[in-house]
Amino acid sequence: MTKTDPCPFYIGGEWLEPKLSTTPVYNPSTGDVIAECPVGGTAEVNAAVEAAAAAFPGWMETPPVERARVFFRFKMLLEENFEDLVRCNTREHGKTLVESRGDVKRGIEMVEFACGVPSLLMGEVLENIARGIDCEAIRQPLGVCAGITPFNFPAMVPLWMYPIAIVSGNTFVLKPSEKVPLTAIKIVKLLEKAGLPKGVINIVHGGREVVDGLLTHTKVKAISFVGSTPVAKYIYEVGTKHGKRVQSNGGAKNFVLLMPDADVQNSTRGVIEAAFGCAGERCMAGSTAVVVGGAEKTVLPTLIEATRKIKVGPTDRELQPDMGAVITKQHRDRVLQLIDAGVKEGAKIPADGRGVKVNEAPNGFYVGATILDHVQNNMTVAREEIFGPVLNVMHLDDLDAAIEMANKSFYGNGASIFTRSGKAAREFKHRINCGMVGINIGVPASMAWFPFNGWNDSFFGDLHMQGREGVQFFTQQKVTTSRWFSYGEGDIWHK
């Protein structure tokens, strides 16, 4: 029997293992249970929020440069423990070591950005807005903030949230996904080691009761969320109903347009990475390739051939495959059901990953890289986010038709085009209805200094994560108008 890892709560600076019911944490490569995640409830939420609320006054009064110095030390510790975090990430998620290195690296970039947040907290002053009257605007923290994170990026997504929130002067309660809690715990232990005071960050585990507890708690001022669109909409509606700021990232169906003049090798590589990287389990996956005109004779055959060559296997060992497992058996079965539905509804399947065999790890949760060709808008696979290693292929005659079709999507995270034509690229960039655009780039996810900019049903809220908008989300402005009289001047001194 595999020994399971501890999975504690972190409340008020104490690591706690209360006796609660648990849910299994799997190694997707093998199907083994590697941890038991406790299912907290209202009591644990209340304890974590109260600890964060108690720590807030002292942390708010800590000078911003001192808050940032904690994160300089934190960044150094993340780099020193990089490979340990990478292997933990891979073990509980199933992505390859290369993909886990990207996950952790992008998280560290957010910490780098947070180290510079004091410069973004600076206010504005205007003298003499009227005679003898000055006006200043400053940014102050909100209070207790909370983050609810998904399974697909155990390191990066939590680090989208709490570094900016904490450097801005807030305290934080994190609820990591119960499917991948171990990486989040390791990272917070490093933040503790960096010198963060007790109570400034807290971890609670659990399901809907914990989520609802955070959404409705009167002392929680802001909620950050990443997950599926139905849940993102629920988070936004309930959170705002209870007077909280909410930034809620949902799912997507991201389009990649392949133009007739696209470079065959580079566009193939870009689409393969976009569609099958992290086994397709990401909201920026290029899940639909739109083959425009002659590209069906140039790019598509090479794309099909490359997909068939993708090696699937266990990622928790030194010899690495091209792609790992999906997160759970239940999710694997859902992906397989959606592939079956696409075939039944008329899609062709030139690359079929349903029967993939992994002899060295037969109990892992594997789906091979799959292409569904000639997908139509009315098919289930065209409407639903599959969140697996499945690429839909659509065929359209020209750029106008491709943009018109892509713009019918309810989602709006990202879209990309592969072309040598500056005119086509500019037209696409200008007209496509989404928040992040790639030109000869398969995954146009923005880096830490820019907002993660979903539109439509991919995002609910007003201020996005990352960048300047992230700082604005976790702070509120206070405007002071002042006038000072000389001694004896004005009615107050008049006798």
Name residue 419's amino acid.
Answer: T
| Contact yes or no for 315/321 (Cβ under 8 A) | yes
Helical segments of 217-278, H only? 229-241, 264-276
Q: How far apart, in Å, are the Cα atoms of 196 and each of 5, 27, 208, 215?
A: 24, 31, 29, 25
Residue indicated by tokens 């109903």: 241
CA distance 164 to 175: 17
Closest listed residue to residue 71, CA positions, set 183, 200, 177, 181: 200
| Pairing outcome for strands 171-175 and 201-203 | parallel
Q: By three-state DSSP, how is residue 29 classified? A: coil
434 is a catalytic site residue? no
The amino acid that residue 70 corresponds to is V
* Residue whose entry in the numeric block shows the structure tokens 């780098």: 112
Q: Which of 7, 115, 283, 434 is catalytic?
A: 283
Q: Are strands 14-16 and 9-11 parallel, antiparallel or unpaired?
A: antiparallel
d(CA 210, CA 217): 10
The values of phi and psi at residue 83, to 5°, are -65, -35
Q: Distance between CA 395 and CA 291 in Å, rounded? A: 5
Give, in order, the Cα–Cα distances in Å from 232 to each of 40, 118, 239, 329, 451.
21, 30, 10, 24, 18
Let me know if 66 is exposed, middle or buried by CB neighbors in 10 A (0-12, 13-18, 19+).
Answer: exposed
Q: Which residues are catalytic?
A: 283
